[in-house]
Chains A and B, each alone.
Chain A
Amino acid sequence: MATETPVQPPPAPGKKVNRIGLEPIAYRGLKTTLCAGCGHNAITERIIDSFYELGIDPTQVIKLSGIGCSSKAPAYFLSSAHGFNSVHGRMPSVGTGAVVANRKMIAIGVSGDGDTGAIGIGQFVHLMRRNLPIVYIIEDNGCYGLTKGQFSPTADLGSTLKSGVVNDLPPIDICALAIELGASFVARSFSGDPKQLKAILKAAISHKGTSMIDVISPCVTFNDHEGSTKSYAYVKDHDEPLSDVSFIPYFEDITVEYEAGTSKEVTLHNGSRVVLSKLSEDYQPTDKMSALRVLHETMARGEYATGVIYIEPDKQDFVDMLGIVDEPLASLPQSKTRPGRQALDEIMESFR
C-alpha cells in the first residue's frame, strides 16, 4: 500500500493545483494555537509551501516532534499525514524506529532548542551520527516558551531575559555539532527570511540522509526584547547569508548560469540540484573543515551564518546501511517473517 500513489480526484477547473493535482489546502493542517507573530508559524507556512511545490503526496509523509511550542507545529501542516508528538527530547528515537520500519515514508521532525539542545541532546547526537533519512528542523528561539521564557542551551552568552537575568553560559552551536557528528545536510535559516528558508527546506526534503536545519525563530512573547540575541531586530541585523540558495527540483529542466569561482552546484540523489551562489572564495560547503571554520568565525563576530552550511549528497544513510529489504518492514507478511518448520527443527537439533 505504501508505495502506491493514491488516486486523486481531478481538480475543479481553474483551481490552483500542484504537479500531482493537489490543491494547497491538501497541505495545510489545523489552525495554529501558537502566539500571533511566533516565528514557528512562519516556518509552518514554508513547510506547507515546500511540500506543495515539490508535489509530494502528504499521505506518504510522517511528522514527528518532541515537546514544546515547536513540537506542536506538526499539527499545523499536512493534516492527511500521520503525526507523532512524542515525549520531551526523544523524537529522534521514535523517528529512528519509524523510518527504519517503513523506509518508503518521508520523515519530517520538528524540535526546539530546549527539546534538542537540553533534554534531547543525547538522542540528537545519535540521530546525526546515524545519518538517518529525516528532515530535522529546530525552531530555535533560545528559550522555553511553554514554561514561560527560561533560557535554553542555544541562548547566547550575555543575552538577557525580559526580567533582566543575563545568560552566563556559552551557547551550543547546533549546526557545528551536527556537522561534527555526521549529518550530511546542515543549514541555518531565519523564520523572517521566507525565500531562503523555502529553498533550504526543499533541498532538505530532497536530500537523502539527515537534513538538519536550525531555524532562528523569535519568541514574540518571551524573547523579542532589547538585550535578547534571538529577537527579530537582532537576528535581522546579524543575519549573515553565506550564499544565495536556489533549489531546482528534478522535475524542472532549468539551466542556471552562475559566476565561476563563487558558486557551487550540488546534485542530490534524486537529481534535484542546489545552487549556492555568491559564496566567499575561501568557503566550500562540501568541505567539513571549511564549514566548521565559517561557523566559528561568524559566531566570534556575533553573527548568524545562514544558508546551506554543509552538504554531503552521497553519504550512505542509515537505512541503506542496515541492508534491509526494499519493501517496508512494517508490512512484511507472515510468509516472510516466520521461518519454516525446518528452521526450528535445525535450531532444536543444535541444542540436543
Chain B
Amino acid sequence: MSVTDVAVQEAPTKSRTERIVNDFAIQVATVNGSGSQTANLVLLRSIFQMGVPVSGKNMFPSNIAGLPTWYTIRASAKGYISRKKEVDFLVAMNAETAKEDVLTLLPGAAALYDEPLKLNALRNDIVFYPVPFDKLITPITTDAKLRRLVRNMIYDGVLSKLLSIDMGQMEKALRKQMGKKEKAIALNMGALKAGYDYAEASLPKLDPFVVEPMNKTQGLILIEGNDAAAIGCMMAGVTFVGWYPITPSSSLCESLIDYLKKYRKDPDTGKATYAVIQAEDEIAALGMVLGAGWMGARSMTSTAGPGLSLMAEFTGLGYYVEVPAVVFDVQRVGPSTGLPTRTAQQDILSAAVLSHGDTKHPLLLPASVNECYTMAMEAFDLAERLQTPIFVMTDLDLGMNTWMSPTFEYPTKPLDRGKRLDAETLKKLGNDWGRYRDVDGDGIAYRTVPGDGMPAYFARGSGHSEKAQYSERADDYANNLDRLARKFETARTLVPKPDIEWAKTPTVGIIAYGTTHWAIIESRDQLKNEHALETSYLRLRAYPFTTELFDFIDKHDRVYLVEQNRDAQMLSLLKMECNVEQFAKLRSILHYVGLPIDGRSVTEDLVRQERGQ
C-alpha cells in the first residue's frame, strides 16, 4: 500500500485546489460479455437525470465474449457530445488492457481499478482508487454467475460517491434499465450500495471531477440512432422490409420489427400491415425490396459496407428501371470486413455511384438521432417522388451509441406517393402513356403498378424506349440516360438543404456531414476561444449538392471539408462539380482510426493547415 500512498500524496496537489465540474470523460474498460452494459447505461442515465448533458460511446470488439471493450461517458456542461479525446476518469476492470489503459492517461487523471491488478505501481502522476471487487461482491450473492453479472454495479456505487452522482438517480436509472425485474433490481442495488459504502469508508476524494445538478436535459430523451431510424420508418408507413443481419445495422431492423409488431396490426383483423423478411443475403434483401417497390409498397432495407457492395448490381437495376427503395447504410470501418464494430464515413463514394454504368443516387446524411427519424420519412417520400433508390448514410457512432435528443415530432406532412398514373392523367396524356416519358420536364415519368387497373409495362434492366420497350437504338438510349440525369437535377431541388452558420466576416469555412457535426461544434468554439479564429459552418444534409454549398464556397477564402475516411470521399464528389476557383479553395481534414472524430483533432489539424498557408 505504500506505493499507493506515495502516489496519492504526490499527484493530486492540483486536484485538491481545483474542481472540474460537469466537464470530463469517464472510460470503463471491461471484458466483452461481462454484463458491464447495464452498469454503464445506469451511470450515463444517472448523470443525464441530474440535468447534465451526456453522451455515451461504446467501443466494442467484433466478438460475443472475452475481448476488451471500452465504454466512454462524457459529461459536458457546455453540451458537447462528440467524443472527448482525453480520458479523465478510468475504470479499469480488464486485466488484459489495464496497463496500457493506465499508461495512456494524461497526468492528473484518475483510475479506479480492481485491486489485484495493482495498477498503482505503474505511475505516480495520477490518482488511484483500488477497489476489492471480489471481496465486496461476496456478501451480495452466493451464485457465481450472478456475482459476475452484478459485479460491475460496484463501480457505479464507487463513482456515485467519488463524483457526487446522486444515489437516488442511480436507483431510478437502474429501475428504468431493469424494468419490473424486482429480484434483479434488489441484487444490483446491493452491489451499488456496497460500492458506495466502500468508497465512503475507504476512498478519500483525491481527484477534481464532480457532477453537479443542472437543468440542461429537461424534456430530452436518450436513444440510439438505429432505434430512431426504425421509428421513422414505421411512421413513414413502411410496408415491406427485406434485410440481412450485419453489424452495425442489425439493430435498426430488429428494432423496427418490435415496433411494427406493437403498432402496425390491423385493428379489425389483428393481421400485420407490413411484411419483414430476413433474406438469404444482402443481394436478395435488395432484390425483395425492389420487387415490393415495383408493386407499389413502401419498401426498405438496412445494411453496412459489405452488404452495400453486394447490393451494387440491384442498385443499378433500381436506378435504371426506376423503382423506389430506401437503403440505410449504417457505415462501419472497411475495406473488406475491416473493423465491423468501429465507426467511419467510408461508403460515401461507393454509395453515390453504386453499380456499373452511369449511375448516381441521392444520399441523405443524418447527423443526429432526430434526423435518423425525420430523414427516414424524407427518404421514403423522395424514393417514391424520384422513383429511385435513396441511401440514408448513417454510421455506427450514430446508430449504436446513446444520444440525447428532444422528443420526436409527429409528422404533419402526408405521405408523398409520387407520380402515379391515374385515369385523369391518362386522359390528359391523350391515352398515350409512356412509362419513361418525361411529360413534366422534371425527368420524372408517371408510373403504374401491377393491379392498379392502369396500363402495364415491362420493367427491364436492358435498354428501353420511353414506352418501356426493348430498344438498342442510340437515340432511345441517350434520351433515356439524359432524362435520368435531368431527374437527378430535380433531386437536387428536393433533397434537404444544408444548415449554415455564417461568420461575421466569412474567411474560413468548414463543411461537415453526419456525426462529424458534433466534433465541429466543439472545434469551432476551440478555434474561436483559443485561436481567435471565427469560422463559418455548412452542414451538408444530402447529396446531390444544392446551390447553397457552392455559394458558401464562393463566399470564403478557404473551406475545410471534414470527414471520417482516408480518401476525402465527399470532397472528391464535391470537386467533380466545382469550378476552378472553388476547387482551389478546398482543403481536407480527415479522421479514420475507427473511433468517432473529436473536436480537438479537428482544431489541431485546421490550425496546422492555417499556419502552413
Chain A interface (Cβ within 8 Å of chain B)?
Answer: 1-2, 4, 6, 59-60, 62, 64, 74-75, 79-87, 90, 92-102, 104-105, 122-123, 125-126, 322-326, 328-332, 334, 336-339, 341, 343-344, 347-348, 351-352
Instruction: Report 12 cross-chain contacts, Cβ distance below 8 Å, ordered by A residue.
Output: A59-B453, A59-B456, A84-B321, A90-B283, A92-B284, A93-B287, A93-B291, A102-B450, A324-B275, A326-B271, A329-B273, A339-B264
- CB contacts (< 8 Å) of B239 on chain A: these are 101, 329-330, 332, 337
Chain A residue, CB-CB nearest to B291: A97
Q: Is the CB of B293 within 8 A of A331?
A: no
Which of A105, A322, A338 touches B415 (beta carbons < 8 Å)? A338
B602 at the A interface (CB under 8 A): no
Please determine whether B275 and A100 come into contact, CB atoms closer than 8 angstroms.
yes
Given contacts A97-B289, A339-B234, whether A60 and B451 have CB atoms under 8 Å apart is yes
Measured CA separation A247–B452 after assembly (Å): 31
Separation of A344 and B238 alpha carbons in the complex (Å): 15
Please tell me if the beta carbons of B291 and A101 are within 8 angstroms of each other in the complex: yes
Q: Which residue of A lies closest to B283 (CB)?
A: A90
Q: Please pick, from B292, B321, B449, the residue contacting A97 in the complex, using a CB distance under 8 A.
A: B292
In the complex, what residues of A have CB within 8 A of residue B452's CB?
1-2, 331
Interfacial chain A residues near B51, Cβ < 8 Å: none
Chain A nearest CB, measured from B505 CB (Å): 42
Taking the closest CB of chain B, its distance from the CB of A134, in whole angstroms, is 11
Residues of B within 8 A of A347 (CB): 231, 259
> What are the residues of chain A within 8 A of B408 when measuring CB–CB?
344, 348
Q: Does B436 contact A (CB under 8 A)?
A: no
A337 touches B289 (CB 8 A): no
CB contacts (< 8 Å) of A324 on chain B: these are 271-275
B299 touches A101 (CB 8 A): yes
Measured in the bound complex, the distance between the Cα atoms of B462 and A123 in whole Å is 21
Residue B257, interface by CB 8 Å:
no
Tell me the bound Cα distance from A209 to B237 in angstroms. Answer: 28
Question: Is B221 a contact of A329 with CB atoms below 8 Å?
Answer: no
B266 within 8 A of partner (CB): yes
Residue with the highest number of chain A CB atoms closer than 10 Å, among B221, B222, B227, B448: B221
B residues less than 8 Å from A341 (CB atoms): 410
Query: When the two chains form the complex, which single residue of A74, A75, A84, A343 contacts B291, counting CB atoms closer than 8 Å?
Result: A84
Give B407's nearest chain A residue, CB to CB. A348
Determine the chain B residues whose CB is within 8 A of the CB of A125 once the complex forms. Answer: 280
Beyond A87-B313, A94-B287, A344-B408, is A338–B223 a contact (Cβ under 8 Å)?
A: no
**A98 contact set on B, CB distance < 8 A:** 291-292, 294-295, 450
Chain B stretch 402-419: residues in CB contact (< 8 A) with chain A: 407-408, 410-411, 414-415
Q: Would B269 and A330 count as touching, CB distance under 8 A?
A: no
Number of interface residues of B (CB under 8 A): 69
CB B385 to nearest CB in A, in angstroms, measures 15
With both chains docked as a complex, state the minimum distance between the C-beta of A84 and any C-beta of chain B, in angstroms: 4
CA distance A93 to B236 in the complex (A): 23
Question: Which residue from chain A places its CB closest to the CB of B239 in the assembled complex?
Answer: A329
CB of A97 within 8 A of CB of B293, answer yes
Picked from B283, B459, B461, the residue with its CB within 8 Å of the CB of A83 is B459
CA distance A324 to B235 in the complex (A): 18
Which residues on the B side are within 8 Å of A336 (C-beta)?
Answer: 266, 273
CA of A122 to CA of B449, assembled, Å: 28
List the A side residues contacting B314 at CB < 8 Å.
87, 90
User: Which B214-263 residues sit within 8 Å CB-CB of chain A?
Assistant: 221-223, 227, 231, 234-240, 242, 259, 263
User: Which residues, 343 to 363 on B, are CB-close (under 8 Å) to A?
Assistant: none
Known contacts A85-B458, A323-B272, A326-B271: A339-B263 contact under CB 8 Å: yes
Most interface-central of A1, A4, A323, A325 (chain B CB within 10 A):
A325
Q: Which residues of B contact A325 (CB under 8 A)?
A: 266, 269, 271-273
Q: How many A-B residue pairs have CB under 8 A?
A: 217
Cβ distance B327 to chain A, nearest Cβ, rounded Å: 14
Tell whether B166 is near chain A: CB-to-CB under 8 Å.
Answer: no
Cα(A98)–Cα(B297), bound, Å? 9
Bound together, the chains give a CA A122 to CA B280 distance in angstroms of 8
Closest Cβ of chain A: how far from B603's Cβ, in Å? 32
Kindly provide the distance from the CB of A213 to the nearest chain B CB, expressed in whole angstroms. Answer: 21
Selected contact of A329 from candidates B240, B411, B415, CB within 8 Å = B240
Residues of chain B contacted by A96 (CB below 8 angstroms): 242, 277, 284, 287-288, 291
Q: How far is the CA of A122 from the CA of B293 in the complex (A)?
A: 22
Task: Given A97-B242, A341-B410, A347-B231, decide whether A334 and B288 contact each other with a Cβ distance below 8 A.
Answer: no
Taking CB atoms, residues of chain B closer than 8 Å to A74 are 458
Q: A82-B459, A325-B269 are in contact. Are A351 and B295 (CB under 8 A)?
A: no
Task: Render B407-440 as a binary contact track against A, CB cut-off 8 A, 1 for contact.
Answer: 1101100110000000000000000000000000
Contacting pair B470 A75 (CB below 8 A): yes
Q: Could you tell me the distance between the alpha carbons of A331 and B417 in the complex, rounded to whole angstroms?
A: 11
The minimal Cβ–Cβ distance linking B224 to chain A, given in whole angstroms, is 9
Interfacial chain A residues near B273, Cβ < 8 Å? 324-325, 329, 332, 336-337
B297/A101 in contact, CB under 8 A: yes
Asked if residues B456 and A82 are in contact (CB atoms below 8 Å), the reply is: yes
Is the beta-carbon distance between A86 and B453 smaller than 8 angstroms?
no
Q: Which residue of A lies closest to B267 (CB)?
A: A336
Q: Which residues of B contact A62 (CB under 8 A)?
A: 295, 450
**Inter-chain contacts of B283 with A (CB < 8 A):** 90, 93, 123
Q: Are A87 and B240 in contact (CB under 8 A)?
A: no
- Measured between alpha carbons, how far is A337 from B461 in the docked complex, in Å? 31
A97 to B286, CA, bound (A): 9
Cα-based distance from A330 to B271 in the complex (angstroms): 15
CA distance A79 to B456 in the complex (A): 8
Report yes or no: A328 in contact with B451, Cβ–Cβ below 8 A: yes
Smallest CB–CB gap between B318 and chain A, Å? 10
Q: Does B287 lie within 8 Å of A330, measured CB to CB?
A: no
Chain A nearest CB from B265 CB (Å) reads: 9
Q: CA–CA, A99 to B238, complex, Å?
A: 16
What separation, in Å, do the CA atoms of A64 and B294 have in the docked complex?
A: 12
List, in ascending order, chain A residues with CB within 8 A of B284's CB.
90, 92-93, 96, 122-123, 126
Contacts of B235 in A (CB 8 A): 338-339, 344
Nearest chain-A residue to B453 (Cβ)? A1
Interface string of B42-82 (1 = CB under 8 A from A): 00000000000000000000000000000000000000000
Q: Are A101 and B271 in contact (CB under 8 A)?
A: no
Given the interface contacts A326-B269, A351-B221, does A97 sit within 8 Å of B288 by beta carbon?
A: yes
Instruction: Give the shortest distance, in Å, between B52 (CB) and chain A (any CB).
Output: 16
Q: Evaluate contact between A97 and B295: CB separation under 8 angstroms.
A: yes
Q: Residue-by-residue, is B375-417 near A (CB-CB < 8 Å gives 1, otherwise 0)?
A: 0000000000000000000000000000000011011001100
Most buried by A among B222, B237, B269: B237
> Of all chain B residues, which has the CB nearest A96?
B288
For residue B200, CB closer than 8 A to chain A, the reply is: no
B266, B313, B408, B458 — most chain A CB neighbours (10 Å): B458
Tell me the minimal C-beta distance from B422 to chain A in angstroms.
10
Pick from B231, B286, B414, B458: contact of A75, CB under 8 Å: B458
Could you tell me which residues of chain B, from 448 to 497, have a CB within 8 Å of some CB in chain A?
448-453, 455-462, 470
Contact B461 A85 (CB under 8 A): yes
Q: In the complex the two chains form, is A126's CB within 8 Å of B280's CB?
A: yes
B161: interface (CB < 8 Å)? no
Contact across chains for B298 and A337 when beta carbons are under 8 A apart: yes
Bound-state CA distance A344–B321 (Å) is 35
Inter-chain CA distance A90–B293, complex, in Å, is 16
A328 to B294, CA, bound (A): 13
**Which residue from chain B places its CB closest to the CB of A75 in the assembled complex?**
B458
- Cα distance A4–B454 when bound, in Å? 12
Is A328 a contact of B295 with CB atoms below 8 Å?
A: yes
Q: Is the Cβ of A94 less than 8 Å from the Cβ of B294?
A: yes
The complex places the Cα of A1 from the Cα of B455 at a distance, in Å, of 13
Other A-B pairs, 16, CB within 8 Å; known A93-B242, A329-B275: A62-B450, A80-B455, A83-B456, A84-B294, A87-B313, A90-B287, A90-B313, A97-B289, A105-B451, A123-B283, A123-B284, A126-B284, A324-B271, A337-B239, A338-B237, A344-B408
In order of increasing CB-CB distance, the 10 nearest A-B pairs are A97-B291, A93-B287, A2-B451, A337-B237, A97-B288, A97-B292, A330-B296, A351-B221, A98-B291, A101-B292
